[in-house]
Amino acid sequence: MLINLMVKMVKNPVDPKESDVLKRLKYEENISTALEHFKGVANSSSFKHAPLAYKIMMEKLEKKQEMNSVQYLLQQMKLEGISCFEDTFISVIDAYRRGKAAEQALKTFYRIQDFGCKPTVRIYNHLLDALLSENRFHMINLICSNMKKDGTVPNVYTYNILLKALCKNNRVDGAQKLLVEMSNKGCSPDEVSYTTIVSSLCKFGKVKEARELAMRFTPAIPIYNALINGLFKVYNIKEAVDLLDEMAYKGVDPNVITYTTILKAFADQGNLGLSCAMLSKMFVRGCSPNIHSFTCLIKGNSLMGRWYEALDVWDGMIKEGIFPNVVAYNTLLHGLCLAGNMNMAVSVCCAMERSDCHPNSTTYSTLIDCFAKSGNVSKASEIWNRMINLGCRPNVVVYTCMVDVLCRNCMFEQAYCLIDNMVIENCPPNTITFNTFIKGLCCSGRIEWAVMLYNQMERFGCSGNATTYNELLDGLFKCNNLTVALQLVREMEEKIIEFNLVTYNTIASGLCNMGMLEETVKLVAKMLVRGITPDVLTFNILMDAYCKGGKVESAKQLLNAMYQLGLRPCFISYTCLIGGLCNWISLEAAICCLQRMITDGVPPKISTWNVVVRHLLCKMGYTSALQYLESILAAD
């Protein structure tokens, strides 16, 4: 009897209830299992999914970005004759936007009418937003044309998306014209419309124009925040702070963004007193600071070397019940590294590892970079190994920091292996990585290897920039390899790589060291013609060359020219001239120059005194030279 019943049930299975199917689909966590169940039930000859089942299934698939399966469901709905409504297509378009697949969203849009659904202004808006997220500006224009052909009337959301698109593409004038068009067509611009254009105008430094535009709209916090930010960018601090009073007068309460914008601006300028005062004002006004407010203060104190104060701000943040995020941790850690307090910086990293806020590649690169600069390869390697063991994948910045620390310790073979490893790990080296390696090789006199590495850059998809050539030229001139150095100079000109001040100074120094004074003068003249202003180093290079060549008067003229250009000569400038005067003019003239140096507030260093004492000893003997020097110092 039981066997017969079972056979009958197999031959004539009981159709599942719709409520059971919906429940199963809703609560099934495994997306593949849910889809298989959906398909299995749909294969039943007498059961058809309700529209709600499709909705539940599509939402699950969209959340997991299973867009091929979403398209399958859309096709099934079409075959089953189930209507696709506005919300269905909006959810699909939004899913493509989240997956950065705006082109697929556009293809889906063009199929809407196949499913018996007409494009609505809401669908158009979500599609435009998807295209804007990838800045597909030309496609946005195409969709706007479609809207006009369809007779779809744009609403304020449509116009706001178009305003953002124009501003994003630096067409703020076009955005202002569109703002007028909105009003003319009976669509009143809202807070978002004005804030978008005001922010864009401020970005380009047109704060006065932004202020005039803002006055046309009812005062609103986002618009004031954009104006305050813009005023600080053009260093109009007083007017920015005055806007707080204007807000109070017009009954607009500043929010945490308003205060944090001002607080950050003061901190960035190093005015930490005003920054702290603004934090106090927030508390008095009943506006609670957020993580960004405290992080700005931590950063400001750290950059000023006030890490004790930065820690006080950190403690205050914790007391307020605000727990640090990875940016706050990294900001504090960076400040500690700048202060050279590496033990505490490592402690902060350990605290992160123990907390719910895990270190990221920036955390580890900051520590490795600091250890690299101090040449501590063992500590840098320790941090590197800890990062790998904790599953944090190094990025190109971390790799480059590690290349730097290896090069500083002359571990060039290991550095080269690390570059190979970067390619294997699908994190290819960039130009900065190679520049770091080339600099390390050149500093150690391994110029041939540096040139070979430069020639391999293209194989890794990189090309040399001005910094690359500057490092190579410096290394080649130090090795007296004039031929290859001049080849690189010609190569820079052929590749139209712009010479910067460092390039000119490097070449000038190299030519002077090889006694090629005339060529150096021509080079500096070319530099001036190209509009590059010389610095103190440029003058020092020329002065040294003139003094060595016996043209001391020309060197004296250069010293005077430095003052005329507003440059302050350093002890090297004076030491070069004093040496030249001793060698070619007279010891008395050199002593006068030494006295001028002291009068001008440039303290002589040991190298300066060595030049003077050496010539005094030759002329006067030890006792007389000592007495003479004492008289100079006493007169000062």
What confidence tens digit (pLDDT) does each residue in 536-584 have?
999 999 999 999 999 999 999 999 999 998 999 999 999 999 999 988 9
Tell me if 197 sits within 8 A of 224, measured CB to CB.
no
Distance from chain centroid for Cα 474: 29
- The tens digit of pLDDT for each residue in 222-266 reads 988 888 888 888 778 888 888 888 888 888 889 999 999 989 988
Q: Which residue has the tokens 């005003």?
A: 274
Q: How far apart are CA 367 and CA 360, in angstroms?
A: 11
- Residue 561: CB atoms within 10 A of its CB come to 13
Section 578-599 average pLDDT: 90
The residue assigned the tokens 């790990």 is 425
Asked if 269 and 304 count as a contact pair (C-beta separation under 8 A), the reply is no
The boundaries of the domain holding residue 599 are 563-636
Listed residues 199, 229, 254: the one ending a domain:
254
Q: Is 609 domain-assigned?
A: yes
Residue 232 lies in a domain: yes
Burial class (CB in 10 A: 0-12, 13-18, 19+), 521: middle
Domain end among 235, 254, 273: 254
Q: Please report the pLDDT score of residue 308 as a whole number.
A: 86
Residue 217 lies in a domain: yes
**Residue 236 is assigned to a structural domain of this protein:** yes
Residue finishing a domain among 234, 254, 274: 254
Look at residue 1 and tell me whether its pLDDT is greater than 60.
no
Alpha-carbon dihedral 393, 397, 400, 401, rounded to 10 degrees: -90
Q: Is residue 111 part of a domain?
A: no
CA angle 609, 611, 614 (to 5 degrees): 100
Q: Where does 355-481 have alpha helices with state H?
A: 361-373, 377-389, 396-408, 412-424, 431-443, 447-456, 466-478
Indicate whether 290 pLDDT > 50: yes
* Tokens describing residue 136: 């597909």
Confidence of residue 7 (pLDDT cuts 50, 70, 90): very low
- Residue 395 sits at φ, ψ, to 5 deg, of -100, -175
User: What value does the mean pLDDT take over residues 436-444?
Assistant: 95
Answer whether 333's CB lies under 8 Å from 297's CB: no
The answer to whether the beta carbons of residues 53 and 21 sit under 8 Å apart is yes
- Phi–psi pair at 445, nearest 5 degrees: 75, 10
Domain count, the chain: 2
State the pLDDT at residue 558. 94
In a domain, 176, yes or no: yes
CA distance 518 to 207: 51
The shares of helix, strand and coil residues in the chain, as percent rounded to the nearest 5, are 75, 0, 25
pLDDT over 90 (residue 157) = yes
By CB atoms closer than 10 A (0-12, 13-18, 19+), residue 450 is buried
Residue linked to tokens 């597909």: 136
40 contact partners, CB below 8 Å, separation of at least 6: none
In this structure, is residue 596 part of a structural domain?
Answer: yes
Residue 619 lies in a domain: yes
Residue 306 host element (H or E): none
Q: Which two tokens stand for residue 48?
A: 């058809």
Give Dmax over CA atoms of the chain in angstroms: 133
Q: Which residue has the tokens 């190579």?
A: 472
pLDDT at res. 616: 74
**Please, are residues 602 and 569 in contact by the beta-carbon 8 Å criterion?**
yes
**What distance in Å separates the CA atoms of residue 431 and residue 47, rounded to the nearest whole number?**
62
* Both tokens assigned to 265: 């601006």
